[in-house]
Amino acid sequence: MNSSYDELGKRQRAKKIKRIVSVATIVFALTSWYLFTTGLNLVPTLFFPSPSNVLDTLIQVRNSILQHTLITMIRVIASFLLGSLMGMVVGLLMSRYQVIFALLEPPIEALRPIPPIALIPFFILWFGIGDFGKLLLAGIGCFMVMVISTIEAVRNVPRIYTQAAQSLGADDAYTYRTVVIPAIVPELIAGWRVALALAFALMIAAELMGAQSGLGFMIMVARRSLNTPTILLGIIIIGILAFLVDRMLNLFANRLTRWTERTN
């Protein structure tokens, strides 16, 4: 009993220390930013705007920034969900059926090293600057991540799990559905987080190259006029959004894998 209380106390102290360090890091970053750009004037605001410049820009263009943010978020979430779902389905099929694995493994391995960003010029040529090309680009990135993550997760399932189910009379399909798939969920969480970060990166890159809306488009327009406060504001918003969505995904993963012990 005492050991359980000690372990609980250690975890609570670790979480408290983690929060303190996180807050201290943010305060240090903001203070350094202010000192370098305003307090000590070490960096010209043209090259790196001050906090007050960024805040003024946020107040002035808050309505358009909100619109661009919502558009980018919808695109990112849609591409992440579609690409990740397709990747997991294909990964499961490849893991279960050797024929499908032999058919799809060569093209996937050939395409996997190619950065999706390299496809942007072709996607603009083929699909224009509409949403379909951007969703497809980010979706391909998520798809590739989740295919590999799913295949590796299935390979790492201990054989004793499937052997125990089959010894109790479960057929292959039932074993796969009730044993293998639940067992791979904890390992898929890392793949989801990587795919989500990649969806943000690819979507912003696509919006920078060719778009009429979104945070990437906003940054591109600001770049043409050397509007560095808007550029930095867009970068900050992207970072905050990615962090918040990742936290939400992590909370969802914790609830989905309540039977496992995960450290945050």
Token pair, residue 164, equals 């125990």
CB neighbours of 137 closer than 8 A, spacing ≥ 6?
Answer: 79, 116, 119, 120, 123, 202, 203, 206
CA gap 39, 53 in Å, rounded: 14
Compute the average pLDDT of residues 45-58.
87
pLDDT-derived band at 261, boundaries 50, 70, 90 = low
pLDDT tens per residue, range 129-173:
888 999 999 999 999 999 999 999 999 888 887 878 878 777 778
Q: Which helix (H) or strand (E) holds 34?
A: helix 2-34
- This prediction has a pTM of 0.84
Tens digits of residue pLDDT in 2-47: 555 566 567 677 778 888 888 888 889 888 888 888 877 777 777 8
Q: Is the predicted pLDDT of residue 184 greater than 70, yes or no?
A: yes
Average pLDDT on 77-85 reads: 96
Q: In this predicted structure, what is the pLDDT of residue 245?
A: 93
Q: Which of 56-60, 193-197, 248-252, 257-261 has the highest mean pLDDT?
A: 193-197
Cα–Cα separations (whole angstroms), residue 32 to 51, 110, 233: 11, 45, 17
Which pLDDT value is given to residue 2? 52
Band (pLDDT 50/70/90 cuts) for residue 250 is confident
Which residue type sits at 158?
A: P
pLDDT band at 124 (very low <50, low <70, confident <90, very high): confident
What CATH number should be reported for the domain whose range is 48-256?
Answer: 1.10.3720.10
With H, G, I as helix, E, B as strand and everything else as coil, classify residue 72: helix
pLDDT of residue 160: 85
> What confidence score (pLDDT) does residue 254 get?
82
Q: Is 73 helix (H, G, I), strand (E, B) or coil?
A: helix
